[in-house]
Structure 1
Amino acid sequence: MARDSEQEGRLTRISAFVFLHTEHAIYAALGMLLAATAVLALIDATGLLFAAIREFGGSGELLKIVDSLLFLLMLVEILHTVRVSMRSGKLTCEPFLIVGLIASIRRVLVITLQSSEVMHGALTPEREALFRASMIELGVLSVLILTMVISIFLLHRARDDQQVAGQE
């Protein structure tokens, strides 16, 4: 009987060791892929910036640059989440809220530019409907952004050690 429980304990330790190292290998591979994607996004954003400088572009080119940079910021924040998860073994929700916040802000910028472009020219029923839908989406995004900001604030306030996620 004691031998059976000793065998089960050994099997449990071996399986926990294998699963932990498999998890770390997957996190490492995911981190490398995210880092490569972030480098490519940075190169793309740099190319967009130089193209906008050469053409001295308008708001459309600037929006593409800002959109690309915000996407890059999202990738870096997700990469940070992977690093924290590997180091601490915990998955925290704060980085996901930050990524959601950045994504929402990206969408607000895109909607704002599209709405301003739509409003140039004659006001047709289609343009009016598009503008109305854009304003509703902006309202929903505003509530979502406010909710995420409050959630991040409450997470910081509730944390005992007052450290930012990833410094545990």
Structure 2
Amino acid sequence: MAQDSEQEGRLTRVSAFVFLHTEHAVYAALGLLLAGTAILALIDATGLLFGAIRHLGGSGELLKIVDSLLFLLMLVEILHTVRVSMRSGRLTCEPFLIVGLIASIRRVLVITLQSSEVMHAPMTAEREALFRASMIELGVLSGLILTMVISIFLLHRARDDNEVAGKE
């Protein structure tokens, strides 16, 4: 009977070892893919910036640059979350709230630019419906952004050490 218990304990240790290393391997592969994607996004954003400088681009080009940079910021934040998860073995929610906040801000910028373009053109029934839908979406996004900011604030305040999530 003691031998069965010892064998079950050894099996548990071996399976925990295999699962832990498998998890780390998946995290490492995910980190490499995210890093590669982030580098490509940085190269793309740099190309967009130089193209806008050459042609003295308008608001459409500037929005593409800002959108690309915010996407890059989201990738870096997710990469940071993967790194922290590998080191600590814990998954924290604050980095995901930050990514959601950045994504919401990206969408607000896109909607704002699209709405300003709609306002400069003659108003038709279709444009008016698009404008109303955009305003509703902006309202929902504003509430979502406020909720995420409050959540980040409360998470930071509730933490004992008053450190930012993931700081080693």
What interval of TM-score do these two structures reach, taking the shorter chain for normalisation?
over 0.9
Give the deviation of 1:121 after TM superposition.
2.1
Which residue number corresponds to residue 146 of structure 2?
146
Aligned to 1:165: 165
Flag structure 1 segments of 5+ consecutive residues without an equivalent.
none
Counterparts of 1:147 and 1:135, CA distance in 2? 18
Aligned pairs, how many?
Answer: 168
Give the Cα–Cα distance (whole angstroms) in 1 for the partners of residues 133 and 81 of structure 2: 34
Identity %: 89
1:48-74 CA distance string (max 9 Å, x none): 000000000100000000000000000
How many angstroms does 1:119 deviate by? 0.9
Matched, 1:66 2:66: yes
2:124 matches 1:109: no
CA distance in 1, matches of 2:35, 2:162: 28
Which position in structure 2 is the counterpart of 1:131? 131
Counterpart secondary structure, 1:162 = coil
TM-score (norm 2): 0.99
Match of 2:95 in 1: 95
Q: Tell me how far 1:122 sits from its aligned partner.
A: 1.3
C-alpha separation between the residues in 1 aligned to 2:148 and 2:28?
A: 28
Task: Tell me how large the CA RMSD over aligned residues is.
Answer: 0.6
CA distance in 1, matches of 2:122, 2:36: 46
Q: Which runs of 4+ in 1 moved over 3 A?
A: none
User: Whole-Å Cα distance in 1 between the matches of residues 85 and 91 of structure 2?
Assistant: 5
SS at match of 1:111: helix
State the 1:125 CA deviation: 1.0
- Deviations 1:93-116, CA, capped at 9 Å, x for gaps: 000000000000000000000000
The amino acid of 2:43's aligned partner reads: I
Q: Which amino acid aligns with 1:141?
A: L
**Does residue 46 of structure 2 align to residue 46 of structure 1?**
yes
Q: 2 CA distance for matches of 1:31 and 1:71? A: 16
Corresponding residue for residue 17 of structure 2: 17
Tell me the residue number matched to 2:156.
156
Give the structure 1 partner of residue 119 of structure 2. 119
What whole-Å deviation, never above 9, does each CA across 1:112-166 have from its counterpart, x for those lacking one? 0000001112111111111111000000000000000000000000000111111
Partner residue, 2:3: 3
Matched AA of 2:89:
G
